[in-house]
Structure 1
Amino acid sequence: MQILNYYPICLDEIEAKVAKKMKRNSTQKCEDVEPLDNVKEITNRFGEKIIRVDGEIPVDLPINNEDRFLFISYDQSSLTHGLHKYPAKFFPELPRWLIKRYSKEKDLVIDPFTGSATTNVEALLARRHSVGIDISPFSRFLAKVKVTPIDEEELERCKKRILRLLVNYRPDKVAVEDIPTFPYRDNWFNKEIILELAYIKKCIENLDTNDDVKDFFKICFSSIIRSVSNADDNCTRTVIRKRLNKVVNPSDALRRFAEAILTNIPKMMEFSNLCPKDITTIFPGDMDARNIKYENETFDLALTSPPYANAVDYPRMHQLEAYWLGFANGSLLPLKKKQVGTESVTVKEYKDLHLIGIEEADKVITRIYNKDPRRAYIAYKYLLDMQMNLKEVYRVLKSNGRYIIVVGNNKIRGEIFENWKYIIAMAEKTGFVLENYFASEIIKHFIKVPREERIDTDWILVLIKK
């Protein structure tokens, strides 16, 4: 492979940049948080009354059906929550509040769509055992790292070793066998970046330490991959947009990785110091949300934010990370087909109209079918998968246990698809009783979503098994 450019990195400059950024974030948080009287009523531009909560949500916060809340989060990047970007994830204050409100210490909590494991991290810190289920091996790997405490001295020792290796990088230290092969690799990445990423991964794998420490550094490595690729950093799909004129320079991977470990190690240390030693968190690899291989009445609480119909293609979103971490090396189609809300459907499947048996949902599906049979089937299949999930969670929940679902609406071919209403109807058919429901306004996303598909409100459904 021809080397076009190579620039060494300066650790002093990187450390100064990270220190300045961390100081700025710390100052902003201290200025913004209102420790007293952080709950107040406001009026939005439509004249609707909204209850605004800044920061920590009081456990005994009064809730009435159809209440609308605006939760202002300050913890999205705190502890291990900020190790890696992940689309449409929980902000930590929400599951923290719901876990403390609806369970007690040593209870067993399940998140059947664990994603980036925000529920599991918060359950662990609240001294609840938990299980996280996700069909994505990348998600399970990220989740495992986020709940695994690491010895501070060992982390510091390995950090020093890694930083020395980064400073001493030369392209000729990378062998051909160090570079992974995957579809369109040389389109996704510049030649210099491929060598730098291969070198970083090799350095991590050669560390004289345990797997937990290596895995932490692999997640730091994964967290920079999209930013040093030629793909759009802020799109839910991994695509190259030439009009963005994205510039990636030689040494960017080395520099960004150094920044990532300097930023993330303090977060991991803080988490490790807070992490209880007698609480278990498990991410089984042989289950999904429609097939939970636990005995009846095992769990005290279920809490999740499922994917939306026709929304985020998670395998494609994380495909570059999966390739570099070794979770994939070819077509993503088999994994995409397993996803709830998948868009990978065949003509044979969507040729005919399929209905779910919920009158309000079927009317919308029919209107979508008249415009786009494929999208109509995707919507139907999403509800069918959620129906299967509701039945499984109902089975594994203890009597009087709750299933809390945080879900929003979206548009499919111009039709409002009110997921939360359809899920309530299916849940009641399954045997759940709707105890409460209320809205959480969404004020920002880290990912760009087309305006016509944007989700502005999440609905929080509190279902109880009677």
Structure 2
Amino acid sequence: MYESLSSLLSSDLNFHDKNSTYSSHAIHAFAAKFPPQLPRAFIESLTNPGDVVLDPMSGSGTTILEAYLLNRRGVGCDIDPLAVKMARVKTTPLEVDCFQLIPEVIRNAVNILKDEAKVNQAISSRFDRKTKEFIDYWFFPETQKELMALLLAIDNYEKGPVRELLEVIFSSIIVTKSGGVSRARDLAHSRPHLDPEKKPRNAIKAFEQRLLKFAPIIAALPVHDYPATIKQCNAKSLSIKDNSVHLVMTSPPYANAIDYMRANKFSLVWLGMSISDLGKLRSKYIGNEATGKMKMEMLPEYTESILSSLMAKDKKKEAVLRKYYMEMRDAMREMYRVLIPGHYAILVVGTSIMRGVDVKTPQCLGDIARTLGFQLETIQSRELDRDRRMMPFGNGNTHIEQRMVTEEVIILKKP
């Protein structure tokens, strides 16, 4: 355990040589996850067992799993329904006989697949026209049948932890770093590309392999005093009491960089959400580019200077960035409200280059946080391991890859 915040910050926060796939961390791919050792270090240093650790933009649940493993009261919030499912599964021990569950699910799926009329009827009735067009473009007919057979087998289980585990495993064979059962070349980095030459794996076999690997891991999660709490909610409006959180540890969306819904919808359409519904939900994500008729508000002086530099290059991009900073201001206001005085909020963020302008995201967020009452303790850089952080796909020469070499750890304190 670190003795103080200063000694923690003087240590190596890169963790490139550390294993990040222990426990249930690797059950599902997710773009831009930070290494679990990073939240673990701050949780160990700044909290005690039983303390409340909040991640208001929890993504796949890395912070909350670490809080759970360290016997803290982990509370995670995210607006993305797939992220919420992942985080719940990763932090929920199961009393399940894996040796019975796994063959049972696979046997049922194989038998259902043999009933071609039943499978075809389910495919034709479950999706509206727009959603079916999306599925037809990205999934071969044979794969659709295999996936539907799996879904029908999963439907046999009541809503609860076991079914949610099966749904996350189902999703994990679609949203993958490589391979997968769709026609996309790459989904885990959030930028799908159609691969005309790809021959997708058999979905039922892929599902069985993932289930064989991860069901025992979930079943073996330790049972601690404080179960994790995962909510689907907006970081700008938390249903959490004032002055009740001992540590906020989060990695907010990058400004104008990663579109999580672009990848996650490949699974969510199979799990019951339509393309139209997902589009509406996407418009509520912090960092999305839809400015619409939003009322633009003034921000602190330093942040306004950055926005002015971008305005001179591109008014539309300036509006997108202003909206991002306004939304992050609202999210940080909630962090301040729920934090206990004397405690910390740790934000891990990257900067962005827009139209050649470094928009200084960490510095601007620190600038905005001060106006909310936070003390800005420091901003410290850490080097990115691109393969582990899973940034958007490319050949290393794209603008997004060139600028995402480091990210910043912002340390805020509520006086």
TM-score class, shorter-chain normalisation, is 0.7 to 0.9
Alpha-carbon deviation of 1:67?
Answer: 7.9
Hey, what does 1:214 align to over in structure 2? 163
Partner of 1:393: 335
- TM-score under structure 2 normalisation? 0.88
- SS of residue in 2 equivalent to 1:378: helix
1:320-399 maps to which residues of 2 (within 5 A)? 320-346=266-292, 348-349=293-294, 356-399=298-341
**For residues 266 and 284 of structure 1, do their structure 2 counterparts lie closer, same or farther at Cα, with a shift above 3 Å needed?**
closer
- Among 116, 139, 142, the residue aligned to 1:189: 139
Instruction: Name the structure 2 match of 1:24.
Output: none
Deviates more, 1:224-233 or 1:333-342: 224-233
Q: Which amino acid aligns with 1:159?
A: I
- Contact 2:53–2:247 under 8 Å retained in 1: yes
User: How far did residue 333 of structure 1 move?
Assistant: 2.5
Give the letter aligned to residue 156 of structure 1: F
- Hey, what's the Cα distance between the residues in 2 that align with 1:399 and 1:104? 16
Q: Which residue of 2 aligns with 1:32?
A: none
Q: Distance in 1 between matches of 2:252 and 2:169?
A: 26
- Distance in 2, matches of 1:436 and 1:107, equals 24
* Map of 1:279 onto structure 2: 226
- After TM superposition, list the pairs within 5 Å mapping 1:186-335 onto structure 2: 186-207=136-157, 211-226=160-175, 227-234=180-187, 236-237=189-190, 239-241=192-194, 244-249=195-200, 252-270=202-220, 272=221, 274-276=222-224, 278-285=225-232, 287-335=233-281
Task: Confirm or deny: 8 A CA contact 2:28 2:168 kept in the other structure.
Answer: yes
Structure 1 residue ranges without an equivalent (≥5): 1-56
Distance 1:210 1:392, change over 3 A: closer
**Deviation at 1:102?**
0.6
> Which residue is 1:414 aligned to?
356
Q: Distance in 1 between matches of 2:294 and 2:5?
A: 46
RMSD: 2.5
Which structure has the larger Rg over C-alpha atoms?
A: 1
Evaluate the alpha carbon distance shift between residue 344 and residue 69 of structure 1 in structure 2; reply closer, same or farther with a 3 A threshold: same
Q: 2:99 is matched by which residue type in structure 1?
A: E
Structure-2 change in CA distance of 1:175 and 1:164 (3 Å): closer
**Mapped partners of 2:282, 2:410: distance in 1:** 27
Give the distance between the partners of 1:419 and 1:426, measured in 2 at CA: 10
SS at match of 1:256: helix
Letter in 1 for 2:214: N
Which secondary structure state, in structure 2, belongs to the residue aligned with residue 123 of structure 1?
helix
After TM superposition, the structure 1 stretch with the greater mean CA deviation from structure 2, 329-338 or 125-134, is 329-338
Unaligned stretches of 5+ in structure 2? Answer: none
Contact 1:402 1:464 in 2 (8 A): yes
Identity %: 27
Deviation at 1:58, TM superposition (A): 5.6
Once residues 144 and 282 of structure 2 are traced to their aligned partners in structure 1, the CA distance between those partners, rounded to angstroms, is 26
1:117 CA drift (Å) = 0.7
1:353-394 CA-to-partner distances (Å, cap 9, x unmatched) read x56433333233223223322211111111111111111111
Cα distance in 1, alignment partners of residues 139 and 277 from structure 2: 18
Distance 1:344 1:232 in 2: 27
- Do the aligned partners of residues 65 and 361 (structure 1) sit closer, same or farther apart at CA in structure 2, a change above 3 Å counting? farther
Could you list the per-position Cα deviations for residues 288-327 of structure 1 after superposition, in whole angstroms to 9, with x for gaps in the alignment? 1111122211111111000011011112220111111114
- Which one is further off, 398-407 or 130-139? 130-139
Aligned positions, number: 397
Equivalent in 101, 107, 110 of residue 164 of structure 1:
107
